[in-house]
Structure 1
Amino acid sequence: MKRIREYTIFITLCFFLVSCSGDKQQKDILKVTAIPDEDATELIRKAKPLIEYLENSVNMQVEFIPVSDYSAAVEAIVSRKVDLAWFGGLTFLQAYSRSNGKVEPLIQRVEDQSFRSVFITSDANIKELSDLKGKEVMFGSQSSTSGHLMPRTFLMQEGIIPEQDFKRIAYSGAHDATIAAVGSGKVQAGAMNIKTWRRFVKEKRVPEGTKVFYTTPTYYNYNWTIHKEVPEELRNKIKESFLKISSDQELGKKILEAQDASGFLETEKKNYDGLKAAAENVGLIKSSLN
């Protein structure tokens, strides 16, 4: 009987040690994701130098976990499958709501203080927003800030209600897909992220005849969102790591080019109050979100 009891204690102790080892192993990996606002190849390319930098600066393994769509990115951080996520303003607000305030915006690019969307077309007869009435128009993902929420908001400010005034509404799921759809004539116009548009122009990838006919006013957009259960010391390390990224460093220059940024700065939830009001107004988040 004594031997059985000793054996049971031994097995229990072994199980405990294995469990602790597993927990430690999990905590030694910083898991990161991003909304798939572009194709997977481009997202991985953009993430690679940043992952390399973070591994060295926080002294732990960093794993980038691609997701299938915007809602999957939100679910990943809410369920703690990832610790850090690259979100648009709207997806941050959705994650904040879904997690009951357990996530927070940590860092944003300098450019995200004054972001813009563009409306594009290949139809020579479309010259202003009012010309979209009766047309087939494409947004990005339904959860996209720059490809849906803010374009819809500015349309509504002009008295244009997409469901009533457009012949058809389509959702591409990603900004590059919107360019392709407009360029091929699948739809007559589309709304998208200005940075993706500028990159396509720079790389000479814009379909012939496709142009911008309207640029929106500015608004706060993207940020790196972190789960509050990530230890404070690690959160601070991550924040400081971003703030130290500089074009004076070879790797820093690669990161800034890949992230399409001139630099990073701290951000906070109140910066997204304007987006919150816009999202509530169009029914993309509940008004009970604090």
Structure 2
Amino acid sequence: MKNLFLILALVFSVYISKAQNTLYLGVGSNINKSAESQKTVDELAQYLSQKLGIVVKINSLKAGKTLEQIQEGKLDVALMNTFGYVLASSEGNMEALVVVANAQKKAITYQSCLIAHPSTQIRTLEDLKKQASQYLLGFVSASSTSGHLIPRLFLNRLDLQPEISFKDVQFAGSHQELIHKISLGELKIGAVSYTDLEELTKSGKYKKSDFNILWTSEPITNGPVSVRKDLSTSLKAKLQEIWINLPKENPTLNTKVVKLWHNTNAQSTFISAQDSLYESIRKMANSMEEISVLVGLYSE
């Protein structure tokens, strides 16, 4: 019996040592996979490794497969979008750690919107309901919160089923690409980030008259940096401290990470995140099963 206890103690100590010496950093599928983006992710992993004194390995999150990655022990800390977090926190043992915030220390939000090319003469949701069958509906990507999941839930509540009520559904790959296609009339109707649309309009790339805005969503809190609930309290505290101090200790990296992840003000900072920030998203769906199905949709 004594030998058994010694063996179990040894196995347990090896497990703890391994867990403390390697940290898996998950990067959401919503993050651009360009060479520049990959470089930023590498820099972030190196920075975390330096601060924590442990190996940090990058693990790209796969749309519809994140829960499996968590169960396989391949995810400790994650940069994921809003819907991804809502699902992972409810079914995958993840909790919010920090969230991007403005200078007033308020969590930054964004919005989704439905837009139409002016040539359609669709100016209202009633117009959309009457003419939906004539047009393709553009989404951004399967896992996009503002460019697919939120507007899909909204359309469902209007009794508009994207694959049935419209001619078909098409994914553009990015908010910028979908906005561009609609501006040219290549696609007539689409769901995109209202925040991105505003930014591109203000920059002069497009005019307000290039689009008819049919609907804008309620504010959506940006996805948080999330961590496994069963990480040690001390490690979670250290990670939170690193993120909150990032703008001050490494402003260059902070600027890159914020731009990479949220495409928001480069001077943004991070604050402690509360799960309650995401309750409104949960309430939009009829059940967590509906959210799970939506996230997995088109992800195979």
- TM-score tier after normalising by the smaller chain length: 0.7 to 0.9
Matches within 5 A, 1:29-48: 29-41=22-34, 43-48=37-42
- 1:45-75: CA deviations, max 9, x gaps? 44244334322332323222224x4213343
Deviations 1:167-215 (A, max 9, x none): 32334455455346546655322212345546666888779x9646243
Q: Deviations over 1:17-49 (max 9, x none)?
A: 9x9778745632221122212441164244244
Which residue does the alignment assign to 2:55?
A: 61
Does residue 127 (structure 1) correspond to residue 128 (structure 2)? The answer is no
**Is the contact between residue 37 and residue 175 of structure 1 (CA under 8 Å) also seen in structure 2?**
no
Q: Which residue of 1 aligns with 2:270?
A: 264
Secondary structure in 2 matching 1:222: coil
Amino acid at match of 1:216: S
Distance 1:40 1:204 in 2: 26
Range that drifts further, 82-91 or 103-112: 103-112
Aligned to 1:3: none
Aligned length: 268
Cα 1:179–1:226 shift into 2, 3 Å: same
TM-superposed CA distance for 1:234, in Å, is 1.0
Superposition TM-score, scaled by structure 2 size? 0.71
Is 2:151 aligned against 1:117? no
Q: Name the CA distance, whole Å, in 1 between partners of 2:84 and 2:44.
A: 21
Distance 1:98 1:273, change over 3 A: same
Amino acid in structure 1 at the alignment position of 2:52: V
Equivalence for 2:137: 137
TM-score by length of 1: 0.73
Aligned equivalents of 1:31 and 1:178: distance in 2? Answer: 32
| 1:209-261: CA deviation from partner (whole Å, max 9, x where unpaired) | 96462433312241122112222211111111111122684433444444435
- Is 1:170 equivalent to 2:170 in the alignment? yes
Q: Which runs of 5+ in 2 are unaligned?
A: 1-6, 293-300
State the secondary structure of the residue aligned to 2:220: coil
**Secondary structure at 2:83's aligned position in 1?**
helix
Residues 106 and 225, structure 1, Cα contact 8 Å, conserved in 2: yes
> Judging changes above 3 Å, is the alpha-carbon distance between structure 1 residues 74 and 204 closer, same or farther for their aligned structure 2 residues?
farther
Task: Provide closer, same or farther for how the CA distance between residues 177 and 282 of structure 1 changes in structure 2, counting only shifts above 3 A.
Answer: farther
Percent identity, aligned pairs only, is 21
Structure 2 residue aligned with 1:10: none
Query: Quick one: distance in 2 between partners of 1:109 and 1:137?
Result: 31
Computing the radius of gyration from Cα coordinates, the structure with the larger value is 1
TM-superposition CA deviations, 1:150-170 (whole Å, max 9, x none): 223444556655355323233
- 2:69 is matched with 76
Q: How does 1:1-290 map to 2 (within 5 A)?
A: 24=17, 27-41=20-34, 43-67=37-61, 69-99=62-92, 102-110=93-101, 113-125=108-120, 126-132=122-128, 133-134=132-133, 135-156=135-156, 160-163=160-163, 165-172=165-172, 174-176=174-176, 178-179=178-179, 182=182, 187-197=187-197, 211=211, 213-214=213-214, 215-246=216-247, 249-251=250-252, 252-259=254-261, 260-261=264-265, 262-280=268-286, 284-285=290-291
Distance 1:206 1:257 in 2: 21
Q: 1:89 to 1:78 in 2, by over 3 A?
A: farther
CA separation of 1:213/1:46 partners in 2, compared to 1, >3 Å: closer, same or farther?
farther
RMSD (CA atoms)? 3.8
